[in-house]
Chains A and B, each alone.
Chain A
Amino acid sequence: MRERYLRWAVAALALIGAGIAGYLTYTHFKGSPPVCLTSGCEVVQNSRWSKLFGIPVALLGLLSYLSIVASTLIRHPLAKQLGVMIALVALGFNAYLFYIQAHEIGRYCTWCVSNEIVSLVLAPVAIAWLLSSDDREESGTA
């Protein structure tokens, strides 16, 4: 029972993250500045740090969050472990991106910071999900 709620929580948080990353990916390819509370969004979006080997970081984030959502739908221990690992990688990489905003760019993108908060909440929930037992796993049924 607890496993199910945690799985839903992981899926919901990953969907929020996917929504934010999806919006940033859309504005990146459209070439328009994101709707933003500060002027930091477009500065961060246009900075040299917005791409990794030519791939928009927002797109990488979108793919990561969608993979986590997929891992909650595929009821398999390996998928679960992979989903949790992606959530932890997202947390670590988002921490790095926060550092870049603070120390290299000197501006904050509210969408990016929101995404970083999502990953900060998602990681412990994902670990709790990993540690929780699936009723079907316990009973040995599928």
Chain B
Amino acid sequence: MKRDSRLAPVLAIVGGAIVLVVALVVAMQLGHTSNKKSAANIATDSIAEMLSGIKQNGIELGNPKAKVTLVEFSDPQCPFCGEWARNTLPSLIQKYVRTGKLRIEYRGLDFLDQNFNTTDSERLLRLALAAGFQNKLWNVVELSFENQGQEGTGWATDKLVRGIAIAVGSKGFDASKALADANTNRVVPLINAAEKLGKAKIGKDISTPSFLIERTGSTKVEKTIVGAQPLSTFTKAIDAQLAK
């Protein structure tokens, strides 16, 4: 009898705990679902929040007078570039870009299309550079990585490219204009310049992602990082330059 009277509250507590766990899991899932599919079925996650209030100018992100510059060479179709963008970049933005210590240049490369006979990299790269004319390149680049499909599968469909442009959704950003600009020759010199710079500073066999760490205003490369290295590789290299 006594055992029954003890078990009753235990069962109530276990039941309550199960309800709370289910509520937490549902909240976690809903938080992502509502966040991920906010516009044109495009996963936006927290990209607008991550970039909010940070100055963008063409291919540049962050304070133009920041002491250190990180140059990113990446291909929108490259899986390791996507992994780096999703897992490492947010911390760098929070710690260094938001605090005005680091500016990042995006140098987009179209390397993988030729391997797979696709146009995915080029289409997204063109849109990103066109968005750069309206100083929203970084939104498009990060949205592309957030919605990245498997390389070589033709995942960057018209619907996805258009959806990404719409998902930028910022005041003053004209998605239709960006989509139109993406199909003009205005973006071609930027694509060529990125490839030329990458081959000159990293080498003819440059792979993506690759990164350069430089002092802002200097063309001297302080450190080259190849691959989606851990966050600590970047923080050590940046801290070393900041300490100088």
Name the B residues within 8 Å of A81 (CB-CB).
9, 13
Main secondary structure of the interface of B (DSSP, over half): helix
Interface positions of B from 12 to 29, Cβ below 8 Å from A: 13-14, 16-18, 20-21, 24-25, 27-28
Task: Say yes or no for B46: interface residue by CB 8 A criterion.
Answer: yes
A42, closest chain B residue (CB): B231
Binary interface profile of B, 83-94, with partner A (CB < 8 Å = 1, else 0)? 000111011001
Task: Say yes or no for A114: interface residue by CB 8 A criterion.
Answer: no
Q: What's the Cα separation between A131 and B20 when bound, in Å?
A: 21
Q: Please tell me if the beta carbons of B18 and A92 are within 8 angstroms of each other in the complex.
A: yes
Task: Say yes or no for B32: interface residue by CB 8 A criterion.
Answer: yes
Q: What's the Cα separation between A130 and B230 when bound, in Å?
A: 44
Which stretch (A3-11, A12-20, A46-54) binds chain B?
Answer: A46-54
Q: Please tell me if the beta carbons of A52 and B24 are within 8 angstroms of each other in the complex.
A: yes
Q: Please tell me if the beta carbons of A43 and B87 are within 8 angstroms of each other in the complex.
A: yes
Of B16, B17, B18, B32, the most chain A CB neighbours within 10 A belong to B17
- A48 CB to closest chain B CB (Å) equals 6
Interface positions of B from 82 to 138, Cβ below 8 Å from A: 86-88, 90-91, 94-95
- B230 CB to closest chain A CB (Å) equals 5
A to B contact number (C-beta, < 8 Å) = 72
Task: Say yes or no for B10: interface residue by CB 8 A criterion.
Answer: yes
**CB contact under 8 A between A53 and B10, given known A33-B235, A42-B231:** no
B16, closest chain A residue (CB): A85
B18, closest chain A residue (CB): A92
Q: Please tell me if the beta carbons of A85 and B13 are within 8 angstroms of each other in the complex.
A: yes
Task: Say yes or no for B232: interface residue by CB 8 A criterion.
Answer: yes
Sort A-B residue pairs by CB-CB distance and give the 5 closest, nearest first. Answer: A92-B21, A88-B17, A31-B95, A42-B231, A89-B20
